[in-house]
């Protein structure tokens, strides 16, 4: 701590800083007096004019003061800043299993880095005491009430605050007050005499001046410890620790005390013929932080016979039971690989130092591959705690979107579609549908038979790339109108010849629009690779109708539908509830892009002008545009790869949910991850050397990989992953080793796992929202789905339902959820929209 001693003839900050020998302020009278003066008082001149002149004069030392006091760490100490950033990166990409470490909350960080850091308090803080009974490791579990408390039995309890309590680095001492005993002879009460000795020992002796920023952060942590969410977290810690116990037992490991009742396990390695120091070294190499630890029977603490593994830190990151099973698998690999390395060391050089030198200084492709896998897995992990919190945030974003007409990053658009009913399956007639939802344009005719069935004719046309970008709205919609004409010429000449009146057409336009009527809607922004600026804020129905009219084709564009709205209507039409015993409550797309639509009560759509709604309507289908959920990145996972992919897109900063789960982006995510691992020397090392560090041409080409390639890599179970080898050579001209293919497969599975788990969030939010509408209906719920990812990507549907069950929005009911593929959803749905148009 420094004391500033200003001299009259100089600016205060030009003076020396006086320190007492122990680093505390010197306590002579003048220094003590000056310490009470504020920094502003040091700088205050004799009159206001001089003060203003000095504050505006760039030559006055106040500017130097400002740069040093107000400057951020990256400017004032870039070396420490780089060290902190490196530590952030290490923690983010590592599995932390040290029982005494945790990841504290953002709120605690907020309190720690406040002006309370500047504040000194006189007197005794009465908040930090040292005693003899310690609960440092388990204080969070005790605070949550998930394990027994020592307070009933102990007179003095001590704890650190940064372990399972998840607070700042600090400590607390609790001591008992009041009557300790009664003298049986005199009847005099004997009081506890703990307070003064502890106070005098702590302050000013052991502690020195109190750290008010730490006290503020601790107060925040203690408030959090009193919440139901904290109790849930500690219960999860115990569950995860129990999984560690069960998984290690299943793999033949012995645990000290035969298991755990707390937050950690102590694993004996004696039966594995390896020690904790060597296993810790392997784990460190592959981004796993745990402790080597002595166990009963060890001859020397220098060669401990076990490892200690804690659950709190990774539980704070949202990992659950399935994740901890995976962690045990990684540690089991480390144990077996440590044995393999030790066995291959020469007899004359097989000491611990030789082992460490071999592991830490050598190049080992297998260790590099596992490290790369763990790095991506730790970065992409999604679990129950995250899913539940993100689902709650999704519901809030829905509520805000239903209130506000203007779009904003803070909430989803929640666009009213002016579709006020759900099909019953009895609808009839012939209608046209046009579907623009990605790189293809589809034109269909649909005959509705009135018995949940339909007849379909269709043609599909590839959108030229030069019409998707760097073109005009007129050019694109002229092309679309000509394709409608071509379809009629091929399939319905009687209508193209203009002899039988006109056909109604429903236009499925799968981009964000501001829809003001069933047949009116202005484009808000392009997505899915389109970028035609002059089309934004134009009515897309009017654009298509005008170009159809120019061709003289008798087609009336009477309804604007989103592909997701069409999917909802199509599945509702084909769903024979008497057979499925289920209500269709949601339509969703998981393909090139993603979106969802559902039926909302009119009373909840406060932004809607009810005069535009048909009389008697009670609800309306809402096009959520959930691809833009959490564009502020308040809850969505943020990795550097997501950021790279976002920056490559035309709509940077928007549709950030979609960019984490849809087919258009999964392949690109894998590509940028492979580039990063290549540049960091984790994979393709031989290729790196042969190409002198340059990337293979195809790997450096954005958007080259699509989700179809990932689906092959995902399920390859061929010998040595030969199918993956062929796929990578064909698509990327990329030669790979078996170990590299294993890494690529694991990363592919991690990317798709995250995508499927994230996809469950809007489904759970909407099912939880609408379930009360069906409380008197005993039928189950079903979701109508369309899109290549949900239909064809291996295991995607199963993972969505797995995550949905973790969130469990149907808790307390006997209902189940199923996903149903809605065939020809966008075409049939658009026709159904056209059928209700007046």
Q: How far is CA 299 from the centre of its chain?
A: 46
- CA-nearest of 289, 330, 388 to 91 is 289
Separation CA 593–CA 755 (nearest Å): 12
- CA-nearest of 456, 585, 579, 588 to 510 is 588
Q: How far is CA 749 from the centre of its chain?
A: 16
DSSP per residue, 70-109: HS-HHHH-HHHHHHHHHHHHHHHTSEE--TT-----HHHH
Q: How far is CA 798 from the centre of its chain?
A: 20
Separation CA 753–CA 798 (nearest Å): 10
Separation CA 137–CA 310 (nearest Å): 10
Is residue 53 flagged as an active site residue? no
Separation CA 554–CA 504 (nearest Å): 9
Please say whether the dihedral angle defined by the alpha carbons of residues 142, 148, 150 and 151, taken in this order, is positive or negative: positive
Check: CB of residue 528 under 8 Å from CB of residue 787: no
Which of 275, 323, 435, 563 is flagged as catalytic?
Answer: 563
Is residue 525 flagged as an active site residue? yes
Separation CA 516–CA 539 (nearest Å): 10
**Ramachandran assignment for 532, one of left (phi > 0), alpha (psi -120 to 50 degrees), beta (any other):** beta
Which of 268, 407, 510, 574 is flagged as catalytic?
Answer: 510
Helix H or strand E segment including 583: strand 582-590
Separation CA 771–CA 816 (nearest Å): 11
- CA-nearest of 628, 631, 633, 714 to 667 is 714
The beta strands (E) that lie in 244-321 are given as 254-255, 264-268, 288-289, 291-293, 306-310
Which of 308, 317, 525, 754 is flagged as catalytic?
Answer: 525
Is residue 383 flagged as an active site residue? no
Check residue 771 and report its DSSP letter.
Answer: G
Q: Which two tokens stand for residue 94?
A: 């590592």
Active site residues: 510, 525, 563
């Amino acid at each position: 701590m420094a004391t500033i001693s200003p001299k009259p003839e100089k600016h205060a900050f030009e003076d020396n800083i006086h320190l007492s020998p122990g680093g505390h302020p010197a306590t002579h009278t003048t220094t003590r007096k000056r310490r009470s003066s504020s920094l502003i008082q040091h700088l205050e001149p004799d009159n206001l004019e001089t003060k203003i002149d000095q504050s505006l004069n760039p030559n006055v030392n106040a500017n130097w003061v400002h740069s040093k006091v107000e400057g951020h760490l990256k400017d004032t100490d870039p070396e420490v800043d780089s060290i902190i950033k490196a530590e952030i990166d290490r923690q983010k990409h590592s599995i932390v299993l040290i029982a005494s470490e945790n990841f504290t909350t953002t709120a605690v960080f907020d309190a720690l880095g406040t002006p309370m850091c500047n504040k000194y308090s006189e007197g005794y803080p009465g908040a930090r005491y040292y005693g003899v009974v310690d609960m440092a490791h388990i204080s969070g579990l005790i605070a949550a009430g998930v394990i027994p408390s020592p307070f009933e039995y102990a007179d003095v309890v001590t704890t650190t605050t940064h372990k399972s309590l998840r607070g700042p680095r600090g400590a607390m001492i609790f001591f008992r007050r009041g009557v300790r005993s009664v003298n049986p002879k005199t009847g005099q009460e004997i009081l506890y005499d703990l307070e003064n000795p502890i106070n005098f020992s702590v302050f000013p002796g052991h502690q020195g001046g109190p750290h008010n920023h730490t006290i503020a952060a601790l107060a925040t942590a203690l408030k959090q410890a009193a919440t139901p969410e904290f109790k849930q977290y500690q219960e999860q810690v115990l569950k995860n620790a129990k999984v560690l116990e069960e998984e290690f037992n299943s793999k033949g490991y012995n645990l000290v005390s035969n298991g755990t009742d707390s937050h950690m396990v102590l694993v004996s390695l004696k039966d594995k013929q390896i020690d904790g120091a060597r296993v810790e070294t392997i784990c460190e190499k592959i981004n796993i932080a745990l402790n080597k630890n002595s166990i009963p029977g060890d001859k020397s603490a220098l060669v401990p016979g076990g490892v200690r593994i804690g659950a709190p830190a990774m539980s704070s990151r949202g990992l659950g039971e399935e994740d901890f099973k995976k962690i045990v698998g990684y540690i089991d690999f480390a144990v077996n690989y440590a044995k393999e390395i030790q066995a291959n060391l020469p007899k004359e050089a097989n000491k611990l130092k030789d082992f460490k030198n071999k592991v830490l200084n050598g190049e080992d492709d297998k260790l590099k591959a596992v490290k790369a896998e763990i790095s991506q897995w730790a970065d992409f992990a999604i679990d129950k705690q995250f899913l539940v919190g993100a689902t709650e945030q999704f519901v809030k974003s829905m509520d805000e979107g239903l209130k506000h007409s203007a779009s904003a990053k803070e909430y989803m658009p929640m666009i009213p579609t002016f579709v006020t009913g759900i099909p019953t399956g009895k609808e009839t007639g012939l209608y046209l549908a046009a579907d623009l939802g990605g790189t293809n344009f589809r034109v269909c005719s649909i005959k509705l038979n009135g018995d949940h069935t339909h007849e379909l004719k269709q043609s599909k046309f590839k959108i030229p790339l030069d019409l998707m970008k760097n073109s005009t709205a007129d050019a694109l919609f002229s092309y679309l109108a000509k394709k409608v004409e071509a379809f009629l010429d091929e399939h319905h000449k009687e209508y193209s010849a203009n002899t039988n009146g006109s056909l109604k057409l429903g236009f499925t336009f799968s981009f964000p629009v501001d829809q003001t009527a069933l047949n009116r809607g202005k484009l808000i922004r392009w997505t899915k690779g389109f970028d035609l600026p002059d089309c934004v804020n134009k009515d897309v129905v009017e654009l298509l109708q005008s170009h159809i009219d120019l061709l003289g084709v008798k087609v009336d564009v009477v309804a604007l539908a989103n592909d997701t709205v069409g999917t909802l209507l199509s599945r509702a039409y084909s769903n024979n509830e008497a057979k499925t015993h289920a209500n269709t409550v949601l339509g969703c797309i998981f393909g090139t892009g993603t979106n969802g639509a559902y039926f909302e009560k009119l009373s909840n759509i406060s932004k809607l002008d009810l005069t535009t709604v048909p009389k008697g309507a009670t609800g309306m289908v809402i096009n959520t545009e959930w691809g833009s959920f959490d564009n502020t990145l308040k809850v969505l996972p943020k990795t550097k790869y997501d950021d790279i992919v976002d920056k490559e897109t035309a709509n940077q900063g928007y549709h950030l949910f979609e960019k984490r789960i849809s087919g258009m982006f999964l392949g690109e995510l894998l590509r940028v991850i492979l580039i990063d691992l290549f540049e960091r020397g984790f994979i393709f090392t031989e290729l790196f050397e042969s190409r002198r560090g340059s990337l293979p041409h195809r790997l450096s080409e954005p958007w080259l990989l699509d989700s179809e390639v990932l689906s092959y890599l995902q399920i390859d179970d061929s010998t040595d992953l030969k199918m993956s080898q062929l796929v990578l050579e064909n698509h990327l001209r990329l030669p790979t080793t078996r170990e590299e293919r294993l890494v690529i497969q694991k990363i592919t599975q991690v990317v798709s796992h995250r995508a499927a788990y994230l996809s469950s969030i809007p489904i759970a939010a909407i099912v939880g929202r609408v379930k009360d509408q069906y409380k008197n209906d005993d039928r189950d719920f079903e979701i109508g789905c369309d899109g290549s990812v949900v239909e064809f990507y291996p295991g995607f549907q199963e993972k969505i339902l797995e995550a949905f069950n973790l969130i469990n929005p149907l808790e307390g009911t006997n209902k189940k959820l199923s996903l149903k593929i809605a065939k020809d959803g966008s075409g049939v749905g658009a026709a159904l929209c056209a059928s209700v148009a007046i």
